[in-house]
Structures are given as C-alpha cells and as structure tokens.
Amino acid sequence: MKNNLILYIGILILGIAAPFIFPAFKVQLSILCVLIVLATTWNIQGGEMGYNSFGNILFYGLGMYLCASVQVGMFFPLAEWTESGGEKTFVHTPAQFFQGMAVGLIVAAVVPTIVAGLIGYSILGLRGHYFAICTLGLGVAAGEISGGIEIIGAGQGFTTPPFPDVGSLDSRGEFFYFLSFFVLVLTFVTVRSIYTTRFKLILNAIRDNEDKAEAMGIETMKYKIIGWMISAFFCGLAGGIMGGLVGYIDSTDVAFDGREMGVFMVLMAILGGKGTLWGPIIGATVFHIFKEGFWTFFLGWQYVALGVLIVVIVIYFPEGIMGWLREKYPERFGEVVDEKDRKAQVELK
Amino acid sequence: MISVQACLDGILLGILFALIAYGMALQWGVMNIINIAQGDLVILGGYIAYFMYLYGIHPAWGVIVAPVIMYFVGIAIYKLVINKVVDRDLFISILATFGISILFMQLMNFAFGADVVLANSDYGTTMLFNNNVVLPNSKIFSAFISILFAICLVIYMKKSKLGRAIRATAQNARAAKILGVDTEKVYAATFGINAALCGVAGALISITFTIHPYMGLPYTIRSFMIVIVAGLGNLPGVAMSGMGLGVFEEFADYILGTEFRIGSVFLLLVLILIYRRFKLSRKREYLK
C-alpha cells in the first residue's frame, strides 16, 4: 500500500511537470490524457461489465458539440457564428472564454450522462453482439444526423472559439494540458474508488453470468445503467476538452468519428488488458506513441496500419499487456502460485 | 405518383439488399460470425465491375467476373484471419472483421481514389403510368439478376454435396465433423460463397447506383438489420424484409431529405433492436 502511494505521488508530480519537461509536446500530452480517459471509461462497461460498446463515441461527440455550442451560445447568436465560420466579427474576451468553457464542460458532462441513462434502459437489455452492433449503429446514426443539422454547422463543421490572448504564447497549451490532466486524475480517482467497492464485484458478476447474478437478487439493469452513465460522464468531459483542443468540429471526422476514436478506445483497452485498472492506461500510452510515430512517418498508410493492428491485436494478443504480465509474473498480482501445480498446467497446455 | 415511384424503387433496391443479407445469414448461421467487412466486400465487387467498364467491357459482365474474383478474396480472408476467430468469443470476431473493414476501406481508397463513381450501362429507362413513374432499366436488370442468383444458390444448397455439408454444419458443427464433414473446408467455402454473393451485389450496385470506398458500413448494417428482422434461415423473410427496408429508405429519402438517408437506416436498426428487446423482455427473454 505504501509503495502504491509513492507511485501515485510520483506519477502526479511527473504529470504536473510534463509540460515543462517536454514543452514541444503539450498538445500531444493533452491528447494522451483524453485517450487515457476514454480507454479507462470504456473499460468500465467493456472490460468489467462485459458489454462491449462501440457507442461511447456518442457521448464523446455529444460532449464536444455541447461544450462548443454552450461556449458560443452564451454570448453570441449560435446560428450566425456557425454561418460565419467563427470569423473575426465575434471575439470572446478571456473572461467570456473561461466562463463559457466552465459552463460548457458542465453541460457536456451532465447531458451525455442523462442521455446514457435514457437510452441505457432500452439498449442495455440487449446482449452480446446485438449490443455491440446496436451501439455501433447508434454512433454512426448520431454522426450522420448531426451532419444534417444546420445550427451546429451541418456539413461544413463548427469552429470552436479560439483561445483568447492572455499574454504568453504557451498559455493555450498549458491551459488545455492541465484541464485534461485534471480530468484524467478525476477519472482515475473515481474509477479506482469504484473498483474497491461492491459495485465492481456486481459488474464482474454481470460479465461472468448475468442470469445468475439476477437470480442472486442483484438488480442488474440498475447497475448496468449506472456503469454506463459513469462512462458517459467522463466521455462527455473528454469530448468537450478535445473540441477546444482541436479547434474545429466536424460531424463525422472529429466528433462522431467511429473509424478513429470509436475504435481507438476499444483497441487501447484491449491492448492494455481489459478488466484491469492499469491496463487501459498502459494501452493508451503505448498506442498513442505507436500511433504518433506511424502517423508521422507513414502518412497516408495510417489506416492500413490501423486495420492490420486491430486484426493482429485481436487474434494474437486478446489478453493485452496486463494479461501477458499476469501470466508471466502471477506473484506480482497477489496470486498465490503453487509451482508444481503451475508446471503441471503448463505441461497440459 | 411519387409514392408509387418510391415503392417501386424501394422494392428493386430491396431485392439487392436481400441478396447481401442472404450471404450474411449464411455465414452467421454456419460459422456464427458477424462480418462487419460485408459492405466493403460489396464495394470491392463494385470496383471490379467499374474497372471492366473503364477498360471498355460492358459492366454487366462484372456480374460473372466479380463473384469469381471475390470467391478467392473471400477464401484468402478466411485463411488469413477468420479461421483463427471462428470458435472464439463473438466480440473478437466483430472486432477482427472491423479491422478488415478499415483495412479494405483504406486500400480501396488508395487504389481507386476517393471519388464517387458509377459504371454506366446505357440500358435506358422504362416509363410507366403516363410517364409519371420513371424506372431505369438497369435497376430492373439488377433485381432480375439478384433473384436469379438467389434461386441458383438455393437450388445449389439443396441439391449439391457441398450444400448439404454446409447445412449440416450449420445445424451442428460437431456432429457434422463426427460424420466425416470437413468443417474447415465448409467454413472456407461458406465464406467464399458469401464473398461471391457480395461481389454480384457490388457489381449490380455499381451499375445502378454509385460506389465509394467509404460506403461499405451502411451495407453491413442493412444486411444485419434484414437478418435480425427475418431470422436465420428464413429465405422468404429475408426477401420480404429486404424489400421493406428498400421502401423505407426511399420514403425516408423523400420525406427527410437525402442527407438523413444513411442516418435513418442506422436509427431504424437501433429502433428495431429496442422494439425486439422490449417485446422479449415481457417473456423474461433477451436477444442473444
């Protein structure tokens, strides 16, 4: 336990110091924080609950649009803003920008949570691949429909308010980094404290055998919905931050991007090892480094690489990094190993 | 008259969807795999016909060439990826075929460019009801060819040895294996036949509509929807629900506008699943 505390403090200090150690990578580090948040929250119902969703992108995109719309709509007419493409006629003062961002992020977190609660009741009754395909359909439908709505920019996209001039040039990167890092810490603390309660055991029971869990008197539907709502809350926050960070929202290429973000969060969680606390974090970090390298050096071939990567990870590495480590060093995970028994099992394999 | 036009268009379109869905039902029933790359196989078949058109061959011949090429593409995909995920968790196969889908999408984008293309067949149009309803002959041709292929396949599945083996494997893979069916071969053949059907459908789509490297996913979703509405192994049901989906789509196009067409398809899928979930939950059952 004491070791863990030192580890956490070390990571916290590293996280706070990171933008000053690597000043050129502030945007990348903020994206990494957002990716970790997405992977960790996907893991709540994908890994722990066994409900593999392709639809968390819905909350991410919703949060993105909501945050930007609120930020603009609080001070200027939204329709004129999208029509002008965020031109110089409307400029946020620093106070307006930060107020708008704060209110926008709250809305971006709360509304997806409510949406998750509402649709969760109908969708979480589906199981297995029906749930997966249904959520896939939901994500794509949201993208297609938001691409037809005029007030949020329809096909041309939506420019989020530019960062106001508050003195130094670096402040934009630092602001977004610390915002996303704060959300990351918030997510980690929440998820970690959830995982120490009975709630996690219930989620695992649902994953292992839902009928039996129900027969034992657990109201599975209630817990499934709560689990999904927690995911939606943080996905919405992450989306809101990402919208401000990218500076431009497009319905199918940025917000409801099932081909990129929607798959990334699944892939990161599986790469790291689903159903573990640290797995998604490690997976997201490894994936982000790999992705940035590939995106830079093999520009144009990145989706080919992504497709191959998905197939390879899924077929040859479904347990992920944490699963592999667990196989290799079971003692570290608090499992008591009987050496004779383990050898016998290895021989059996 | 617009509604008659939409109905006829929808029915002709729906027959094509039903052909794709039949392939999906086949592999779902036999191998218990949902192939997200189904739509991308369709688009690939379309590009084969389009290339024949570019080189001066009439694209209708694509209906014969595309399935032959696609059969081998299907076998190759099976050997490389699918045979490793057949017996595993369903989510693994969904994710693996999702990866194949992204891969195909991007490779087609490189090879053929990101333009919307169509192969012009020069079939002219048919006017009905005092010229109020205009039907392109290519649509009638494509519906006719799809029905022809579907009938041929049904007869093949009923009469041939491989067809019997496939049906036996679908009923009980283990028992079929014990009785001497080479299930590995059956799986490969099933995937190949599915890919060939996609090739036919794709060639017809390139004649009647347009194709684009990124348009694959809606075809997957449509065929999935048709299969869950009709149920596995219910061929008349597949045809009927395919046509119903076609008509729905045409009406959604007229009423909501073209930009919501794909969105309404995906939304319909969600609504159908929710409807079935509530219907089943009254009996304390669920979709699985």
Nearest-5° angle of CA A261, CA A132, CA B202?
85
Give the pLDDT of residue A154: 67
Q: What is the DSSP letter of A48?
A: I
- Say yes or no: A22 contacts chain B, CB-CB below 8 A: no
Per-residue pLDDT band for A113 (boundaries 50, 70, 90) equals very high
Question: In the predicted model, is pLDDT for residue A340 greater than 80?
Answer: no
- Say yes or no: B71 contacts chain A, CB-CB below 8 A: no
Give the pLDDT of residue B184: 87
Give the pLDDT of residue A345: 63
Instruction: Return d(Cα A9, Cα A242) in angstroms, integer.
Output: 26
> By CA distance, what is A147's nearest residue in B?
B259
Give the pLDDT of residue A344: 66
- B102, B217, B266 ranked by CB distance to A303: nearest: B102
Nearest-neighbour CA in chain A from B75: distance (Å): 17
**Residues of A with Cβ-Cβ distance to B278 under 8 angstroms:** 122, 125
- A140, A143, A307 ranked by CB distance to B100: nearest: A307
Q: What is the DSSP letter of A248?
A: E
Give the pLDDT of residue B274: 85
Give the pLDDT of residue B185: 87
- Residue-wise pLDDT for A216-241, tens only, equals 888 888 888 998 899 999 999 988 88
Question: Which residues have a Cβ under 8 Å from the Cβ of B47 and sit 6 or more positions away?
Answer: B108, B111, B112, B202, B206, B211
Give the pLDDT of residue B32: 83
Compute, in degrees rounded to 10, the torsion defined by CA atoms B87, B89, B91, B93.
-20
Question: In the predicted model, is pLDDT for residue A120 greater than 70?
Answer: yes
Give the pLDDT of residue B8: 82
From A16-25, A204-213, A311-320, the region with the lowest mean pLDDT:
A16-25
pTM beyond 0.90: the answer is no
- Residue-wise pLDDT for B48-96, tens only, equals 888 888 887 777 787 888 889 889 999 998 888 888 888 777 778 888 8
Give the pLDDT of residue A135: 87
To test the contact with chain A by mutation, choose from B91, B215, B274, B278 the residue with the greatest count of A C-beta atoms within 10 A, namely: B91
Number of domains in chain B: 1
- Say yes or no: B103 contacts chain A, CB-CB below 8 A: yes
Q: Do B278 and A125 touch (CB under 8 A)?
A: yes
Cβ(B206)–Cβ(B50) under 8 Å? yes
> By CA distance, what is B223's nearest residue in A?
A133
Q: Does B283 reside within a domain?
A: no
Domain holding B36, by residue range, is: 2-261
- A126, A132, A300 ranked by CB distance to B94: nearest: A132
**What is the domain-level CATH number for residue B68?**
1.10.3470
pLDDT, average across residues A300-323: 81
Nearest to A241 by CA among A186, A200, A309: A186
Nearest to A131 by CA among A62, A37, A46, A47: A46
Question: In the predicted model, is pLDDT for residue A349 greater than 60?
Answer: no
- Say yes or no: A128 contacts chain B, CB-CB below 8 A: yes
SS3 B134: strand
From A279-283, A285-289, B110-114, B263-267, the region with the lowest mean pLDDT:
B110-114
Ranges of each domain in chain A: 2-318, 320-349
Q: Does B125 reside within a domain?
A: yes
- Residue-wise pLDDT for A130-139, tens only, equals 888 888 888 8
Q: What percent of chain A has pLDDT over 90?
A: 2
The parts of chain B modelled with pLDDT lower than 70 are: 1, 121, 123-124, 130-131, 287-288
- Say yes or no: A118 contacts chain B, CB-CB below 8 A: no
Instruction: Return d(Cα B284, Cα B47) in angstroms, integer.
Output: 46
Question: In the predicted model, is pLDDT for residue A189 greater than 60?
Answer: yes
To test the contact with chain B by mutation, choose from A45, A126, A313 the residue with the greatest count of B C-beta atoms within 10 A, namely: A126
Please give the residue that has the higher pLDDT: either A284 or B260: A284
Q: Do A130 and B273 touch (CB under 8 A)?
A: yes
- Say yes or no: A308 contacts chain B, CB-CB below 8 A: yes
Q: Does B287 reside within a domain?
A: no
- Say yes or no: A266 contacts chain B, CB-CB below 8 A: yes
Question: In the predicted model, is pLDDT for residue A34 greater than 80?
Answer: yes
**Residues of A with Cβ-Cβ distance to B263 under 8 angstroms:** 140-141, 143-145, 147-148
pLDDT, average across residues A268-274: 85
Q: Does B52 reside within a domain?
A: yes
- A125, A141, A259 ranked by CB distance to B286: nearest: A125
Give the pLDDT of residue A2: 57
**Residues of A with Cβ-Cβ distance to B260 under 8 angstroms:** 144-145, 148
SS3 B127: strand
Place of tokens 């369709």: B42
- Say yes or no: A296 contacts chain B, CB-CB below 8 A: no
pLDDT, average across residues A200-205: 88
